[in-house]
Amino acid sequence: MINVSNLSIRLGGKSVVEDVSFTAEAGTMTAICGPNGSGKTTTMKAISGELAYQGAVQMNGAEIRGLQPWQLAEMRGVLPQASAISFPFTVREIVRMGLTSGRNRHPEQADRIASEALASVDLGGFEGRFYQELSGGEQQRVQLARVLCQISEPVIDGKPCWLLLDEPVSSLDISHQLTIMTLAQRFCQRGGGVIAVMHDLNLTALFADRMVLLKTGRLQAAGPIKTVLTDQHLQHVFGCNLRVNRVPVDDAPFVLAHSALAD
């Protein structure tokens, strides 16, 4: 379990995240949603162990402040929102950066994990390409393959591993969005846990089990999709008229935007 309690973060002298609490369970996908600037990335950075915070963030029962970088690296993989790479690395080199050095791997095993990770994000055959010559969506999938090399098993020594994904599908076409969301869902079904920052409320409704809604750094709602994805919550958080409907065939919720709120 990841247990975030009373998380507060100040950046540049201002409060960016204030008193946010929620839990994420292994075996489920938790989506963090909210408008631009609402603190989603900042919250993810704290959970990843990359940012100082007040409050508590426990991962599998351990406060992450007390963990060594190698312990964190074995427990969670992080897909940042933006990954600028200034050197001409190949796809193979980037993906293999995810292979944690502490683990003794046979070179053939490392190659197999890297190839499988690339194939799982539909980039088989891209190994020799230069990262900077790929499209934005292809780069995003290379980064995800790197994360999957680092966290190649959803459960290690009986403990769940975590994928922390900041907007994993925001620059992908519809088919690759489904590929990546399905991959994350399978990771959960095999016992791992996923927290993903999402903008697409319909993909969130289809794939996530729980939702955390942020507005201006504060928690507005957290819980199962059905209780959080409501007209009232969405209207309040996003400031526009949104209607949550149900797909007749399988009762899946979908959100229809119909107008900006009148001033």
Ligand X SMILES: Nc1ncnc2c1ncn2[C@@H]1O[C@H](COP(=O)(O)OP(=O)(O)O)[C@@H](O)[C@H]1O
Among 5, 11, 54, 232, binds ligand X (CB under 6 A): 11
Q: Least Å distance between CB 46 and ligand X?
A: 10
Residue labelled with tokens 């200034």:
86
Alpha helices in the chain (DSSP H): 40-48, 69-75, 91-96, 107-120, 136-150, 174-189, 201-207, 225-228, 231-238
Residues 6+ apart with CB under 8 A from 4: 20, 21, 22, 23, 24, 43, 46, 47, 55, 56, 57
Residue nearer to ligand X on the CB measure, 41 or 143: 41
CA distance 82 to 86: 13
Among 22, 26, 31, 34, binds ligand X (CB under 6 A): 34
Among 6, 37, 88, 173, binds ligand X (CB under 6 A): 37
Q: DSSP label at 26?
A: T
The entry of Mg ion, ligand X, none that residue 38 binds, CB within 5 to 8 Å by partner kind:
ligand X
Q: Least Å distance between CB 93 and Mg ion?
A: 27
| CB-CB contact of 244 with 254 (8 Å) | yes
Q: Considering the rule CB under 5 A, would residue 38 count as an interface residue with Mg ion?
A: no
3-class DSSP assignment, residue 14: strand
The strand pair at 162-166 and 76-79 is best described as parallel
Q: Which two tokens stand for residue 215?
A: 């507005």
Q: Least Å distance between CB 103 and ligand X?
A: 32
Among 12, 61, 66, 158, binds ligand X (CB under 6 A): 12
**Mask 56-85, x = binds Mg ion (CB under 5 A)?**
-------------------------x----
Q: Considering the rule CB under 6 A, would residue 40 count as an interface residue with ligand X?
A: yes
The entry of Mg ion, ligand X, none that residue 36 binds, CB within 5 to 8 Å by partner kind:
ligand X
Nearest to Mg ion by Cβ — which residue?
A: 41
Q: Considering the rule CB under 5 A, would residue 48 count as an interface residue with Mg ion?
A: no
3-class DSSP assignment, residue 254: strand
Q: Considering the rule CB under 5 A, would residue 41 count as an interface residue with Mg ion?
A: yes
Q: Least Å distance between CB 143 and ligand X?
A: 17
Handedness of CA 160, 91, 143, 190 (dihedral sign): negative
Under rule CB under 6 A, how many of the chain's residues touch ligand X? Answer: 11
Question: Considering only 2-10, 32-40, 150-158, 210-218, which stretch makes contact with Mg ion by CB under 5 A?
Answer: 32-40
CA distance 227 to 224: 6
Among 41, 139, 140, 152, binds ligand X (CB under 6 A): 41
| CB-CB contact of 80 with 150 (8 Å) | no
Q: Considering the rule CB under 6 A, would residue 42 count as an interface residue with ligand X?
A: yes
Burial class of 209 by CB neighbour count within 10 A (0 to 12, 13 to 18, 19+): middle
Binding site for Mg ion (CB under 5 A): 40-41, 81
Binding region for ligand X (CB under 6 A): 11-12, 16, 34, 36-42
